[in-house]
Structure 1
Amino acid sequence: MKRWLIYAVGSVIIGGTLLAGYLYWTIDPSRHFEHVQVPTLATPKEVTPTISSAPASRAENLFEAKPDEHEKKVSTAFNVLVLGIDARGEENSRSDVIMVVHVIPSARKANIVSLPRDTKVSINGVGYTKINHAHLLGEQKGGNRGGTAEVLQVVSDFLEVPINYYVKTDFAGFEDFINTIGGVDVDVTQDIRLRMNNIQLLSGKQHLDGITALGLVRERWALPEGDFGRQSEQSQILKSMIKELLAPEHIVKTVALLPKLKKNMVDTNFEDSDTLSLVRMFKGMKEDDFQYAQIPGHAGYDNDPLVQMKLYYWIPDMVKVRAITEKMLKNN
């Protein structure tokens, strides 16, 4: 009887070890994204900058996107749209944080391109307006999904790249997320007074809780480079969040927190297996495996077709934008 019990327990242990090894093997990022059919939610198309009604079915069409049948490369890189939404109760919301992350699973690298919220872009059926108006316009037509769909398409058109995945959070979710992982470490480049929560941050290494991290990613007036300084802080916090989640002592906790983390994201089309694969990928990445760029251009004022008055814009240098796109968002 004892011998039978030893054999049974041994079989369970061996079987469990083999299963764990198989699962670890299958979520290897280059292998995982080679075998899953990566979706394509938006592809660039010609924009008609005239006043008209945008198609009401855009949200349905985008979220019923099929895997790209024309792109079946091994370990194909993909683009992820990261959105931070300024949600205020029942009001329609604008996108306050817009980044595209180009993930290269086979090389274990990620390129981050940050888009200023005031970037002047052409939105189909509207004309030239701020990029952060896209979510509001889509939300008015199709709710949360409509807002996401509109930003996906506008960003795809502007950068002339396909968008495969998206991660979207509001600021309450972001704050809760930071608190859930125990805060983030950030290297503050100078003393900053955060206007949102009236907190003084001193220069140097700082450990931030959720509300302070939120104040930093939203602050632009206290930073010498304005919105560009804010985007740099956003990128730093994003990398710090990844580092905190993937610290060896936190990996088990991170996997257990997946349901809560997905809830804090508000909305994403990543499957749990995709997320686990990315966890494994980011775990082995170093600082120089992340490349970061901002949209080049200059400040200016122009009439806005939505509010019928002059607004401040960040006017992109499209020649330089195309160069960044080719280098950062299209290489494998």
Structure 2
Amino acid sequence: MGEIRKKRRKRNKRKIIGYSVGVLAIILFAITGFVYKQLQPQNHFKEVPVVSKTSNNTQSQYGVFNVLLIGSDERKGQNVGHSDSMMLFHVDLNTNQYQAISIPRDTRVHLDGYGYTKLTSVQYIKQATEGAQKGVDAAVNAVSELTGVPINYYVETNYQGLQGMVDAIGGIDMNVPFDVKLTHPWYPENKNKVVNAGVHSVDGKMVTELVHERYSLKNGEYDRQKLQEEALIGIAKTALKPSNVTKLPGVIKQVPNFLIASNMNTSDMISLGVAIKDFNPDTQLHYYQVGGEWKTMYDDILKNNNDQLVMDKAQLEEIIDQHFKQ
């Protein structure tokens, strides 16, 4: 009888364990299904934040929002930096079309409490006097005020972060539209190196060199913006290759390691990654530049006269009205 009871107890124990595992599997499956459903762009981006302070800060349509990409010259070990590049993206998940416009770093803008200065100085002075977050807020508000559109998300990285991001996806193929001489490289060994026009397989180190150069370029800042555009296209094409799509969630989870600041969390990034998994920059990305006039003007932050770009207001308004208004 004792042996029979022992066998029954073992069978019951196995059943209990089996039922427990089954219930746990069902719970995990349900949770996974719920999370997957919540991360679907049509669910995730029903409501988006507005982080800028302009009179036009309204959000009227699902899946339509603006993202400001900030490239800082902040170096390792520093806690302040200048906004070295600004690119505003208008995302429309309904049409799967993406608009992008570069805002030159030396654009003349207004900063409350200081007056008029270059865009690149806005973040720096606020960081130095009020802290890192105030610097980001000021840069976001300056671009929002300049363009007249609300900004929903911001993503800030520096050159080390860009280098790490490119290396994390194994390097990229980048189209270099013109010859580039590296006159102010991050790495001394690249001093005066010439990268000829054409498509090049480059690692993170070289990408940072190319998007940083402007002094040797015929059209200065505007040509540098084109290099930055080509770098982003190269990153998108590589990250979204069919062979790499399964790795995308893992790469996205590493993205916070490459960022200085962002109000996008990991789930925001994964959901956006799901939305653009079939992204084709050749047909879905539309890039714009705005002309302007270089003038020597008084800088209320630096307390001197320096070269500033006064953007063509009519051209800017036309581009914004046609492609960035919701």
TM-score range, shorter chain: 0.7 to 0.9
Question: Deviation per CA, 1:283-322, whole angstroms, max 9, x where unpaired?
Answer: 1122221111112212222122222322111111112111
Q: 1:153 aligns with which of 135, 138, 141?
A: 141
Q: CA deviation at 1:91?
A: 6.5
Q: 1:31-50, aligned counterparts within 5 Å?
A: 31-34=43-46, 37-44=47-54
Percentage of identical aligned residues:
28
Task: Give the residue type in structure 2 aligned to 1:314.
Answer: L
In 1, are the aligned partners of 2:176 and 2:230 still within 8 Å (CA)? no
C-alpha spacing 1:7/1:171, structure 2 compared with 1 (3 Å): same
Q: 2:291 aligns with which of 267, 288, 296?
A: 296
Secondary structure of the structure 1 residue equivalent to 2:276: helix
Match of 1:121 in 2: 109
Return 5+ residue gaps in structure 2 as ranges.
1-10
Distance 1:139 1:305 in 2: 17
Q: Please state if 1:260 is matched with 2:254.
A: yes
Task: Give the residue type in structure 1 aligned to 2:50.
Answer: T
For normalisation by structure 2, the TM-score amounts to 0.84
Match of 2:3 in 1: none
CA-based RMSD of the aligned residues comes to: 2.7
In 2, are the aligned partners of 1:31 and 1:75 still within 8 Å (CA)? no
Q: CA deviation at 1:254?
A: 2.3
Match of 1:325 in 2: 320
Return 5+ residue gaps in structure 1 as ranges.
47-67
Q: Which has the larger radius of gyration?
A: 2
Q: 2:165 aligns with which of 139, 158, 177?
A: 177
C-alpha spacing 1:137/1:120, structure 2 compared with 1 (3 Å): same
For normalisation by structure 1, the TM-score amounts to 0.83
Q: CA deviation at 1:30?
A: 3.0
Q: CA deviation at 1:15?
A: 8.3
Question: Deviation per CA, 1:201-252, whole angstroms, max 9, x where unpaired?
Answer: 1221101111110011111122221100101111121122122222222123
In 1, are the aligned partners of 2:70 and 2:87 still within 8 Å (CA)? yes
Distance 1:74 1:232 in 2: 30
Q: How many equivalent pairs are there?
A: 305
Secondary structure of the structure 1 residue equivalent to 2:194: strand
In 2, are the aligned partners of 1:43 and 1:161 still within 8 Å (CA)? no
Q: CA deviation at 1:14?
A: 8.8
Q: Please state if 1:138 is matched with 2:144.
A: no
Q: Please state if 1:93 is matched with 2:88.
A: no
Q: CA deviation at 1:257?
A: 2.8
Match of 2:41 in 1: 29
